[in-house]
Amino acid sequence: MNKKARLFRDSLGLVWKSAPGWAAANILISLLQSFLPLALIFLIRLLIDRITETVSAGSGIPEIIGLIIAVVVIYFLDEVSTGAGNYIRRNQSIKLESYMFGLLHSKSVRLDLINFEHPAYYDCLSRATSEAPWRPNSILNNIISMFRGAVSLLLMAGVLFSLHWGLVVLLLAVNVPGIWLRLHFADILYNFQRSRTPDARKSAYFSWLLTGDRPSRELRLFGTGNYFISLFKTAFARQKEEELRIIRKRTLIGILSDTVKALALLLLLVYVTGRAASGNLTLGQMAMFILAFRQGMSYIRDLFGSLAGLYEDSLFIGDTFEFLNLKESIKAAEPQMPASILRTGLEVRDLSFTYPGNTSHTLKNVSFTVGRGEIVALAGPNGAGKSTLVRLITRLYDPDSGVIRYDGTDIRNIDPDAYRKMFSVVFQDFMLYNMSAGENIRIGDLEAADAETRIRKAAAVSHVHDMINNLPAGYDTVIGNLFDDSRELSWGEWQKLALARALFRNAPVLILDEPVSALDSDTEYEIFSRFREVVRGRTTILISHRLTNISFADRIIVISNGEISETGTHDELMKARGIYHRMYTRQASRFGECSNP
């Protein structure tokens, strides 16, 4: 089966699956709508002829009344079916929209994180989200309207053929330019829209810089408003100018094709009026032929319009399927092993990793172990690869080479979702949820039993309980500034919430990547002076640039340029007088507490 036919089949499959009842109703009402106009034209012809006969013969009034009622009934049915059709189609498209969003969202949740490293992924996502909710329905409607158009056209052509076969040819011929126009410009517009996706994303980004909450403070302080406005205008104008140029060209050619159609109507009028004037046509027949030609024109336009629409749909729906069919490589390899509470420990062996598009290794032959219950600290300069290591350990990325073992099992053999349940993480760029304070903590473990009490305990350990209690609705207060009745927090308070969220999650391994960078010194002191109590004996990987905070760790691993350069306890590393010694001494000297051994 060729690619386009497969896309159509798959799209119709989606339409049907999303709302089979509404899809069937849509087909039925569309069929009804294709017969009603012909019935109407036929009745109008009968009515005019009867009126003409009545005027000359002076009888037949009851028959005329019957015909008038029939015309009104058919007209009424036609109108009602239009309204009902719109209602049915709207219902169906809402169902489909929600179904498609479901597919898109669950796909993007499952998708490998590495995809976010590729700009092409964002282009694909952006096209898929703008097209997916309505394209499959457009395919169904175009197919229905093509079918409807074909049936109605055949009926109208039959009527015209009874007058002269040339009228059928005329009807078909005058529509050729319009059809060509749509097909030709469908290609042009699709290619244009595909090529402008990066510009569209760029202008959306500049628009967010100008209107978003996060950039609003720097924007005012650095006075970058006008600069971003000009960047937005450039990106916006680049895409719109080209689009307008294409549409202008299409409109001009469209006027030519409309002129051809108007000439055809003129030809028909001259011919039919001539025949009526010479007594070869009744007035009713004349009206019927004119209406049939007019209807035929609109059916043929619908028919080929829907054909061209289908062609357009096939181009655009490809993007949606391209996104939905993106492969996920982060999954459990065979033989699959279960994930269980850590018994022995984690082992990282010869791990190397490079981000897509980067030329040098981010991590190179990194090896170390973390025993159960150990607190291991990662230290090292900016860009050394510490956060990347966390992403690999939690299997957000797979390494280029090397292996990570969890209790001796290669983590690639464990279902990623089950494996990640064993971890609780405070990321350096932790999330802020514009939800209630309690919900912000509960998100750490949505299935937790006894959540209320444990949420408060976690909040107390991360020193945020009192602050939450003082909010207007306590733990139910919505925080952030997106919604009504919400309270914004300071950055440090958000960070305490993120820490509470991680502590609330009852996972055997805790990873804290700069968890206190924004906390006040008292809170920081409180947390680190009782750190083992805070982590409650959990296996912990701790990253911090403030080396006094990690000096108590069972082991400190110093990473620089993606490689392990030193490992040991604080005392061992200070004795070794390497990178750690230098960094620690410099930091300590700033606070006048140099303890150079």
**Nearest CA to 209 among 226, 195, 196?**
226
Q: Does 400 bind ligand ATP (CB under 6 A)?
A: no
User: At its nearest, how many Å lie between ligand ATP and the CB of residue 448?
Assistant: 29
Nearer of residues 165 and 355 to ligand ATP, judged by Cβ: 355
User: At its nearest, how many Å lie between ligand ATP and the CB of residue 378?
Assistant: 8
Work out which of 153, 384, 509, 550 binds ligand ATP, going by CB under 6 A: 384
- Using CB under 6 A, which of the segments 257-265, 279-287, 378-386, 442-450 binds ligand ATP? 378-386
Q: Does 472 bind ligand ATP (CB under 6 A)?
A: no
- Using CB under 6 A, which of the segments 222-230, 376-384, 474-482, 515-523 binds ligand ATP? 376-384
Tell me, what DSSP letter sits at residue 336? Answer: P
Near ligand ATP in 72-131, by CB under 6 A: 117
Q: What is the DSSP string of 263-314?
A: HHHHHHHHHHHHHHHTTSS-HHHHHHHHHHHHHHHHHHHHHHHHHHHHHHHH
Peptide bond into 335 cis (omega under 30): yes
**Nearest CA to 154 among 137, 166, 172?**
172
Work out which of 85, 318, 345, 385 binds ligand ATP, going by CB under 6 A: 385
Give the separation between CA 191 and CA 316, rounded to whole angstroms. Answer: 10
Q: Does 359 bind ligand ATP (CB under 6 A)?
A: no
Give the separation between CA 333 and CA 348, rounded to whole angstroms. Answer: 18
Work out whether strand 563-568 and strand 486-487 pair parallel, antiparallel, or are unpaired: unpaired
User: At its nearest, how many Å lie between ligand ATP and the CB of residue 323?
Assistant: 20
**Total residues at the site for ligand ATP (CB under 6 A)?**
13
Q: What are phi and psi of 407, to 5 degrees?
A: 50, 40
Nearer of residues 143 and 351 to ligand ATP, judged by Cβ: 351
Q: Does 517 bind ligand ATP (CB under 6 A)?
A: no
Work out which of 358, 469, 481, 529 binds ligand ATP, going by CB under 6 A: 358
Q: Does 483 bind ligand ATP (CB under 6 A)?
A: no
133 burial level (CB within 10 Å; 0-12, 13-18, 19+)? buried
Cβ(43)–Cβ(292) under 8 Å? no
Token readout for 325 is: 């069919």
Q: Does 383 bind ligand ATP (CB under 6 A)?
A: yes
User: At its nearest, how many Å lie between ligand ATP and the CB of residue 385?
Assistant: 4
Token readout for 185 is: 């410009």
Nearer of residues 117 and 417 to ligand ATP, judged by Cβ: 117
Backbone region of residue 404 per phi and psi (left: phi > 0; alpha: psi in -120 to 50; beta: other values): beta
Work out which of 135, 386, 454, 496 binds ligand ATP, going by CB under 6 A: 386
Token readout for 7 is: 């896309």
**Nearest CA to 421 among 408, 406, 437?**
406
Instruction: Name the strands in the sheet holding 375-379, side by side, starting at the edge strand that comes first in the sequence.
Output: 423-426, 509-513, 539-543, 375-379, 555-560, 563-568
Q: Does 399 bind ligand ATP (CB under 6 A)?
A: no
Nearer of residues 124 and 379 to ligand ATP, judged by Cβ: 379
User: At its nearest, how many Å lie between ligand ATP and the CB of residue 28?
Assistant: 52
Q: Which residues bind ligand ATP (CB under 6 A)?
A: 117, 355, 358, 362, 380, 382-388, 428
